[in-house]
Amino acid sequence: MEVEKVAVLGAGLMGHGIAQIAAQMGKFEVRFRTRRQATMDTGMSMIKDSLQKFLKKGLIKEEEADEALGRIHPTLDLKEAVEDADLVIESVIEDLEEKKSLLSEVDKLAKPEAIIASNTSSISITELASATNRPEKFCGMHFFNPPQLMRLVEVIRGVKTSDETVDTVAEVVKRMGKEPILVKKDAPGFVVNRILFPALNEAMYLVWEGVAEPEDIDRAVRLGLNWPMGPLYLADYLGHDTTLSIMEIFEKEFGEKFRPCPILKQMVRAGLLGRKSGRGFYNWTAPR
């Protein structure tokens, strides 16, 4: 199947970046949809800011930025967004019921041959596919933040996903200038988050047990493991509510060894979510 028209649903942190690379690198015609005009305005503003950064660094020319923006067609109408799309990429809030509700609508409005993909980072692809009548044309397409810079995309097979769907989506990923890896089995966290979030959780246990201060734990991992940022700083950046949600899924699926650290639960209850709330393990209101 040849993909030329892509719909991106969701204009948040990930959605706007996916829409940008689909238009800029993949040169797809992109229908960019969200439910609220204010969210759309913010998403388009972030795309323009990102393209300006590429321009200032000399990575693209002005005409390339203009062409990319010209390929992005914002809309608040779901039918308009998906009815002519060859590939629909869902990238809304990480909530099972909200995603399933949207995917069920998309399934009714999209043409029968269209592929539907979810940018979920932790929810079962097989369960999301059950909201549609085309599970063989459904897969995971997990981008990493920020999509404009991060090269990896996990392509996740659901129980009923066809080989043709996987191959088509992998080619789309390459056309976007990214590197796909195939996740052969639909397991929580897929590959990267299955490794990453237990590591973040273990770093929190070091704080909880009084082994070392957050700054020293982060410095140890940066210098000893050559991570670009420490695990607690990264957890602050991602948001502790997100980390807790994913660890609770892991605990449910895999058992006690993935139990969320008590300090993580306490911080979420206290509203200390990291960067998004201004405080976490670090003070994000101070100049950094």
End-to-end CA distance of the chain: 47
Single out the catalytic residue among 118, 122, 193, 245: 193
> How far is residue 25's CA from residue 148's CA, in Å, rounded to a whole number?
9
Residues of the chain with pLDDT under 70: 288
Cα angle 170, 159, 134 (rounded to 5 degrees) comes to 75
What local confidence, expressed as pLDDT, does residue 288 receive?
Answer: 59
Domains defined for the chain, CATH in brackets: 5-183 (3.40.50.720), 193-269 (1.10.1040.50)
16 catalytically annotated: no
154 catalytically annotated: yes
**What phi, psi does 56 have (nearest 5°)?**
-65, -30
* Residue 183, C-beta contacts closer than 8 angstroms, at least 6 positions apart: 140, 154, 155, 156, 157, 190, 191
CA distances from 71 to 106, 131, 247 (A): 21, 30, 38
240 catalytically annotated: no
What local confidence, expressed as pLDDT, does residue 32 receive?
Answer: 97
Q: Within a 10 A sphere around the Cβ of 243, how many other Cβ atoms? A: 26
Q: Within a 10 A sphere around the Cβ of 164, how many other Cβ atoms? A: 12
Single out the catalytic residue among 29, 90, 94, 154: 154
Single out the catalytic residue among 91, 142, 240, 277: 142
